[in-house]
Structure 1
């Protein structure tokens, strides 16, 4: 199903009419505005997406009768005079996506004609349900048309009008004008006029329409029609209405002008991360007007010279740098954030506590399901969370082994290509690379193992061993399925496992005894090393590395003390950086579960808040916590941030974890799992783990056979495509640029914003992506590569 774009046209001023309540006069206001437009010698159109009740009382019929010259259309008509979700029960119900697509197409068609002004009128109040039972405020959000809000002039109307406005605001709508009827008794228009004036939103009070006749005979109805015609002729001439229309026209023009200049202004004012600005031009900058679900709405990226809309759906291919989990503009998370902001704002955390931080700590420990974990430390982002993890790990190692870090260098063990952030401490935990080797303070303190990679090549899953390690680790191994690669229960007893462990043990022994190195922690990105180039490490290698470190503490100290108990760390504290791969990114609550390992310290961020707000947690064992406990203040973990345990972030994270956990248990991903169980898993092998992806197996098969593709893999929401490069690939490779540019051009329906890591182009969806929404994107990939 192709995505629906937001609506913005140069030739058509399109607005959506919402009511603060039912029966507030939306259709009368629409008729007034359309008649006023016609008086300006312009053409107006009125669209009613869903109408219920008798045809004689239908809103589009009212516009046809009184809106002189106005073009009218109704998309779906239901006979019962009830809420659309009830009326639709006995009919064929249009899918929400189909309804939105019909609205967008209708408006686009009108934009190509002589129509200058269009209104799309909702039914009932802001949260009245649509045909499928979803709130209209959420249903119509992808279109993000500017709003004409019809306020309520009756008793209680001040409250309902402000509530309606705030509901729209929370969902990212722009309320551009407010109209309501004057009532000399309640005088809501005076109070609301001041309220909206302070928001720079014009409010226009209208004379109340003629009272409805109590009689229904032909004579009474004729008099009513005559009175209404006279009312519309009079009110549509009022100067306030004419000024309002001029302002609505100006705002449409100003919005387009702002979008047109954003890229050039950004180039003048902004220093972008991970960007070489030399040679950069405004056209290289993506202008994002809004975002919804998996898509940005971008300006100026259409293939057509006469676009349907100035805005185009653009798939957020990097999941906004790996943060998106529950979709852009998620209304539930927005409400959570608003609640916490209203309740707390931000409050001091050191030596204090608030409910969101306590609830998140409790829920996170249950989600991670690691018997070693006991304490949660809050930071702002993944890099600083890893700084805390590094401080924890090095301190406990020095304490146990009696090392003095002020007099001798304490290093870390890790994997080649790993990267844990841009702050100076964790930068030293990575080997020299494009990211860090030109940073003046970088030293690079550690040893990083090269490792076998998991990939699909020409339709076949394989574990590929680096050429210079084949003598120690053996030859490449092919597998029937990705699940078989993760079948560590079987693979741990294999010859490969013995080779891995022997190589790792000998390497560490040589580093410590011959080269005199001291190691304070083992730091791993489980399963996938993200920034290093989407490197899919053989899970058996990571498991063997962890086992060797824990099973052989004598490698690190000649007389290591015995661990206190089974949950005590041994050899080195094991730190898992799950900032990228944790919390359902790979289809499970933790990526550690793929390895069958309980780390001593783990760091989570990105998906922690569903992609809404920065927050990070570093979780550790009680034993590690106790190492910092002493009578001396200087022995404490002296690390913190002004916004530590930000109440808004913690509240959103609690709801985000619950939403993802619910999806895990309620079958939301069953279609994806079924695709992989039918085509990937070996049914006769009961020990094969549950490994799946939102990206179809058929897509991987097709792409892996493409001439320009070296290898592919997919797991959870992640898809990685390695392009052939005669120069060998790496971060500075340009091999993936061509594919990136093809996706940026896209199809007639949408395009793709993606990031590349050298010769690797990766794509990620949200965990909320639906099976019917990804095939169009997969087809675009096929057409670009196969």
Structure 2
């Protein structure tokens, strides 16, 4: 089902009425507000998404009776006077997505009419469950309507009202007003008025409605009805209510005005990353009002033609620069962050420890499952984490081989197209490219191997050898029955291709050392996929052979070197895996190193580490690497750190993020995707491996790979890459993918897609929590754009 946009209409101030508890008078407050609008010769509308209990007592019936002509509607009515999730058990339960779509459609219809105020009233308290058992605060979050909170005037009401407010704020709602009944005994209204005034949220206290008669009969019902009519006439005319309605309308218009000016103001004030500003216009800037699950809620000119809503759901196709793992606005991670902020704020880490940092180190080592790893070093992002990794690797190599880095140039081994970050040190670990060619301090210290690429072309998986490598490798392109067979390294390591790879790698390194006098201090790889270099899918056999040659032939790097006796000890060169992009389930496994069946000596993880919520990075190393820095001299220590090293908020969030992904891996959350990739493809005689799978369907890859404009595709884990044909040869400066990017940005009637391009490559990523239904809608859009 297509996603639902957040609720914002220029012509219709629409608000959601939440209660701090059950029986706090939400419907009475709604009726007061609707009467006040109607008294101004304007029109009000009241929507009750889910109602339980007898029809005569239904909230929408109350509005119909006392609302002075208010338009009312109820979407789902259940007879039992219990919580919606219990009442729904005996009925056809509406899916949450269907319920949200119905609400959004109703409000959109009202916005096209002459309605001046719409109220959407919840059932019970903030966390009362909806029909499917989800908290209403989470159920209605995709709409993110501004909130009218009805506080509790009863004993204990101060606590429940503040708790309800905090629960809503934690989920990113805007609370625009608070109302409650005056009670001269408890006087909650006085305390709460002061509390919310400090937060610039207006509070309006209302006189309490007349009590219901103790005995109900025809006479008492008539008197009760007349008393309520009188109550509504009086209260709805009060100046505080009229002023509040004006404020709600003003806030709606102010919100739209702020969104309208954001792009212009951003162009004036902000220097964007990876952006050439010359020729850039404000219309090129995406204005994001909020985000939830896989979608941004964006404001701009390309809204759906079928709705006059100001916000449109936009699929976050770059996973917000590869960070999103558990969806935007994840309430569990938000609560974890709030807990850590409340418990610690920030505390320094050098020579100290706190529970989140210790728990994360323990869980991370277990998640990665590398027997070499014993130590976790904390930094704040992937680039600085890689800086630490390089320091570790080079120190270990220089220490073992007796090199003096102050007198000798120490280089690294890697792959062409690698990129490990934008700080000066790791920038030197990449070959010259658009990223660094105009960075004045860049020197480029290393050798970078060209390598065969994995891709699907015309429905067939193949390993394609670059033209300039074919003569040196003595091999041609190879075809495979499935993606799983590409990763069958147990079988492929005994192949002729593996021998050619090893021979080529060995002779190249030998030549660089012996003839050119190069000294290498580390092997650095992005396992499986090289991200920033253009989503390059390296033949896993080549990366495995490169690692094996380095480890099996330490004499290449120092004439007197020999293989260590202890298996966990590093050999040849320290092997560093940059898993900032590919690690922690991005490719469907806890560690991308497992695809190569290699245990590196050092590995770096970030991005998905915190589920995309907050920056944090870890550099994990073996005991032997750690011991290299141990000596009586302070200067021999790893003198690297940050003010926010191992900050408690990030560590707490990361623990919960890893726990969630580990649980999903164990409980079969991705079995549906795996089943698709385990089934026989159209041109295969054998099944693929369920250990190698993607959230993107095999049929999509088959179809796109045959499209006229497409050179090749691949999909693995949450990553989809589409290489467009380019007569100029592609590369980072290519514009071949811009057309596809623009088509996705235009989108369809229901949603569009925010995507990033790397030259002639357009890539898309999902979260690990993406729903199959959402991805199916996105696949439809891709097919319509390319086929």
TM-score by length of 2: 0.99
What pairs with 1:642-661 in structure 2 (closer than 5 Å)?
Answer: 642-661=643-662
Tell me the CA shift for residue 525 of structure 1.
0.1
- Partner deviation per Cα, 1:655-675 (whole Å, 9 max, x = no partner): 000000111011110110111
Structure 1: state its 5+ residue gaps: none
- Partner deviation per Cα, 1:634-675 (whole Å, 9 max, x = no partner): 000000000000100000000000000111011110110111
C-alpha distance in 2, partners of 1:156/1:91? 35
8 Å contact kept, 2:314–2:752: yes
C-alpha distance in 1, partners of 2:557/2:335? 51
Q: Which residue of 1 aligns with 2:42?
A: 42
Q: Which residue of 2 aligns with 1:340?
A: 340
C-alpha distance in 1, partners of 2:155/2:680? 62
8 Å contact kept, 2:374–2:622: yes
* 2:710 paired with 1:709: yes
Shifted more, 426-435 versus 34-43: the winner is 34-43
C-alpha distance in 2, partners of 1:145/1:272? 30
SS in 1 for 2:357: helix
Tell me the CA shift for residue 563 of structure 1.
1.5
* 2:504 paired with 1:503: yes
Q: Which residue of 2 aligns with 1:15?
A: 15
Q: Which residue of 2 aligns with 1:350?
A: 350
SS in 2 for 1:77: strand
* 2:64 paired with 1:64: yes
Q: Which residue of 1 aligns with 2:399?
A: 399
Q: Which residue of 2 aligns with 1:634?
A: 635
What pairs with 1:200-239 in structure 2 (closer than 5 Å)?
Answer: 200-239=200-239
Q: Which residue of 1 aligns with 2:561?
A: 560
8 Å contact kept, 1:489–1:687: no
C-alpha distance in 2, partners of 1:525/1:508? 19
What pairs with 1:433-452 in structure 2 (closer than 5 Å)?
Answer: 433-452=433-452
Q: Which residue of 1 aligns with 2:82?
A: 82
C-alpha distance in 2, partners of 1:143/1:112? 18
C-alpha distance in 2, partners of 1:398/1:324? 38
C-alpha distance in 2, partners of 1:115/1:565? 77
C-alpha distance in 2, partners of 1:682/1:544? 29
SS in 2 for 1:8: coil
8 Å contact kept, 1:675–1:697: yes
- Partner deviation per Cα, 1:178-217 (whole Å, 9 max, x = no partner): 0000000000000000000000000000000000111111
Q: Report the number of matched residues.
A: 786
Tell me the CA shift for residue 771 of structure 1.
1.2
Q: Which residue of 2 aligns with 1:765?
A: 766
What pairs with 1:70-109 in structure 2 (closer than 5 Å)?
Answer: 70-109=70-109
SS in 2 for 1:74: strand
What pairs with 1:541-556 in structure 2 (closer than 5 Å)?
Answer: 541-556=542-557
8 Å contact kept, 2:744–2:753: yes
SS in 2 for 1:49: strand
Tell me the CA shift for residue 468 of structure 1.
1.2
8 Å contact kept, 1:481–1:681: no
SS in 1 for 2:711: strand
C-alpha distance in 1, partners of 2:308/2:95? 22
- Partner deviation per Cα, 1:423-470 (whole Å, 9 max, x = no partner): 000000000000001000000000000000000000000000010111
- Partner deviation per Cα, 1:728-779 (whole Å, 9 max, x = no partner): 0000000000000000000000000110000000000000011122111000
SS in 1 for 2:34: helix
Q: 1:80 to 1:247 in 2, by over 3 A?
A: same
Tell me the CA shift for residue 307 of structure 1.
3.5
Q: 1:689 to 1:57 in 2, by over 3 A?
A: closer
C-alpha distance in 2, partners of 1:689/1:623? 35
Tell me the CA shift for residue 583 of structure 1.
0.1
* 2:717 paired with 1:719: no
C-alpha distance in 1, partners of 2:57/2:613? 43
- Partner deviation per Cα, 1:334-380 (whole Å, 9 max, x = no partner): 00000000000000100000000000000000000000000000000
C-alpha distance in 1, partners of 2:491/2:301? 50
C-alpha distance in 2, partners of 1:471/1:312? 52
SS in 2 for 1:769: coil
What pairs with 1:177-576 in structure 2 (closer than 5 Å)?
Answer: 177-304=177-304, 307-473=307-473, 474-576=475-577
C-alpha distance in 2, partners of 1:87/1:612? 36
Q: 1:772 to 1:306 in 2, by over 3 A?
A: closer
- Partner deviation per Cα, 1:666-691 (whole Å, 9 max, x = no partner): 11101101111113499986995611
8 Å contact kept, 1:723–1:736: yes
C-alpha distance in 2, partners of 1:108/1:69? 20
Q: 1:689 to 1:682 in 2, by over 3 A?
A: farther
- Partner deviation per Cα, 1:146-195 (whole Å, 9 max, x = no partner): 00000000000000000000000000000000000000000000000000
Tell me the CA shift for residue 41 of structure 1.
1.3
C-alpha distance in 1, partners of 2:321/2:716? 17
8 Å contact kept, 2:482–2:684: no
TM-score by length of 1: 0.99
- Partner deviation per Cα, 1:291-317 (whole Å, 9 max, x = no partner): 000000000143456743100000001
8 Å contact kept, 1:378–1:617: yes
8 Å contact kept, 2:346–2:644: yes
C-alpha distance in 2, partners of 1:682/1:410? 48
Q: Which residue of 2 aligns with 1:698?
A: 699
8 Å contact kept, 2:680–2:687: no
Q: Which residue of 2 aligns with 1:615?
A: 616
SS in 2 for 1:563: coil
8 Å contact kept, 1:679–1:697: no
C-alpha distance in 2, partners of 1:705/1:681? 13
SS in 2 for 1:673: helix
Tell me the CA shift for residue 224 of structure 1.
0.2
C-alpha distance in 1, partners of 2:402/2:107? 73
8 Å contact kept, 1:400–1:561: no
Tell me the CA shift for residue 472 of structure 1.
2.7
What pairs with 1:153-172 in structure 2 (closer than 5 Å)?
Answer: 153-172=153-172
C-alpha distance in 2, partners of 1:715/1:462? 15
Structure 2: state its 5+ residue gaps: none
SS in 2 for 1:710: strand
C-alpha distance in 1, partners of 2:688/2:737? 37
SS in 2 for 1:546: helix
C-alpha distance in 2, partners of 1:751/1:436? 33
Tell me the CA shift for residue 102 of structure 1.
0.2
- Partner deviation per Cα, 1:574-609 (whole Å, 9 max, x = no partner): 000000000000000000000000000000000000
Q: Which residue of 1 aligns with 2:670?
A: 669
Tell me the CA shift for residue 534 of structure 1.
0.1
8 Å contact kept, 1:482–1:680: no
Tell me the CA shift for residue 536 of structure 1.
0.1
